[in-house]
Amino acid sequence: MTGMSFQLAWPWMLAALPLPFLAYWLPAAVVAPPPALRFPFFHALPPKRARGDARRSPWRLLLAIVAWLLLVLAAARPQHLGETVHMPVTGRSIMLAVDLSGSMQSRDMRGPTGPMTRLASVKAVAGDFIDRRAGDRLGLILFGDQAYLQVPLTLDRGTVHTLLDEAQIGLAGQQTAIGDAIGLAIKRLRDEPAGDRVLILLTDGASNSGTLDPLKAADLAAAEGVRIYTIGVGADQQMVVGPFGIPQIVDSDLDQEALKSIADKTGGRFFRAADVESLAQIYGLLDQIEPHSKDQQSWRPVDELYLWPLGAALLLTAAMALAARGRRVPATAPGEPARGARHA
């Protein structure tokens, strides 16, 4: 029935349709008449025609049949099947740890339209990476002086993308706590399937804050089976304004050796991104190293419709009951005034 728009969940309930007709045609059991009082003036009592005529009304019989058909249809549970939805099978569990320290506002990343801040380039490229990871559980960690879980692992890529776009410089402090970010990621990935735990760490500096040493955190990650891919963001040299407003060129404070050691300890890799193009190439390479799931599961949303025939049957039954009550005429003895009438 997968190709149908409608189906009955319990079609065997339709076998109850002929029950009223069988009950009508079956011979009635012979029952002795109950004791009764004899009235010598019984012939003077008015006949109860209204109630008997209502029972024999063809319209009443038709409505009763329709109500019974609706009740049986409701018992069979009619359902509406929506369009087939294909959902990818859950693949890897990937945490993104993004540095929000003050240095991430440096405008030394070359973009397609001109210089960009390091954080803006990360948002642009990481956003595309998030959109491509269908079937993976993604999470987001923001770190500065401390590490904060912004988005727990989820299949909702749109939420991860949105909250990454809303991240601002200094939201987690001005320093760089790389070790704490790794420790928080390990804690969140610990319950995920072994072999599918991945952390992508983006930073532009050396660890100068936090309580956990980055290399010790890397050892813990290796013990927990978490692969860490570290990405160093920013140009090797940048121009800053020195004392007395004199511009000068300084080297980047990125600790490449530490980031490379972190990646090597966990079976990951270290990447260097000096511009937006190289950052995009890194994420493309990550797609190849950690391919997303291509298997799919199919399902069809089901809407229950039994309430409609059930409600219609109840309305018909109520209407028949009200109609029968309106047809009842109070019995009066011959020559006796009707109830409520006054003698002149």
> Rounded to whole angstroms, what are the CA distances from 272 to 118, 140, 233, 299, 307?
13, 21, 6, 42, 61
- Three-class secondary structure of residue 339 per DSSP: coil
Q: Is residue 313 a contact partner of residue 65, using CB atoms and an 8 Å limit?
A: no
Identify the residue with better confidence: 92 or 75. 75
Q: What is the mean pLDDT of residues 170-182?
A: 87
| Residue 261, pLDDT score | 95
Query: Partners of 6 in the beta sheet?
Result: 80
- What is the domain partition of the chain in residue ranges? 57-83+302-319, 87-297
Rounded Cα–Cα distance for residues 93 and 160 (Å): 13
**Running DSSP on this structure, what letter comes out for residue 136?**
-
**CATH class of domain segment(s) 87-297:** alpha beta
pTM of the model: 0.59
In this predicted structure, the answer to whether residue 123 has a pLDDT above a threshold of 50 is yes
Q: Is residue 141 a contact partner of residue 133, using CB atoms and an 8 Å limit?
A: no
**Running DSSP on this structure, what letter comes out for residue 47?**
P
Q: Is residue 146 a contact partner of residue 152, using CB atoms and an 8 Å limit?
A: no
Rounded Cα–Cα distance for residues 247 and 332 (Å): 115
Helix (H) or strand (E) holding 218, with range, is helix 214-224
Rounded Cα–Cα distance for residues 171 and 265 (Å): 30
Q: What is the mean pLDDT of residues 116-128?
A: 87
| One-letter-per-residue 3-state SS of 48-113 | CHHHHHHHCCHHHHHHHHHHHHHHHHHHCCEEEECCCEEEECCCCEEEEEEECCHHHHCCCEEECC
In this predicted structure, the answer to whether residue 46 has a pLDDT above a threshold of 80 is no
| Residue 298, pLDDT score | 65
Q: Tell me which of 5-14, 62-71, 75-84, 294-303 is least confident.
A: 294-303
Rounded Cα–Cα distance for residues 182 and 97 (Å): 8
Confidence band (pLDDT; 50, 70, 90) for 204? confident
Confidence band (pLDDT; 50, 70, 90) for 45? low
Identify the residue with better confidence: 104 or 47. 104
Confidence band (pLDDT; 50, 70, 90) for 107? confident
Identify the residue with better confidence: 325 or 231. 231
pLDDT tens digit sequence for 17-30: 988 888 777 765 55
Structure tokens at 60: 């009443």
| Residue 221, pLDDT score | 95
**Running DSSP on this structure, what letter comes out for residue 16?**
G
| Residue 267, pLDDT score | 93
Based on C-alpha coordinates, what's the Rg of the chain?
A: 39
Identify the residue with better confidence: 282 or 23. 282
**Closest to 271 (Cα-Cα) out of 153, 72, 122:** 122
pLDDT tens digit sequence for 131-168: 888 778 899 999 998 999 999 999 899 999 999 999 98
In this predicted structure, the answer to whether residue 248 has a pLDDT above a threshold of 50 is no
Confidence band (pLDDT; 50, 70, 90) for 193? confident
Give the DSSP letter string of 156-172: -HHHHHHHHHT--TTTT
In this predicted structure, the answer to whether residue 111 has a pLDDT above a threshold of 90 is no
Rounded Cα–Cα distance for residues 144 and 164 (Å): 15
pLDDT tens digit sequence for 55-71: 457 888 888 889 999 99
| Residue 222, pLDDT score | 95
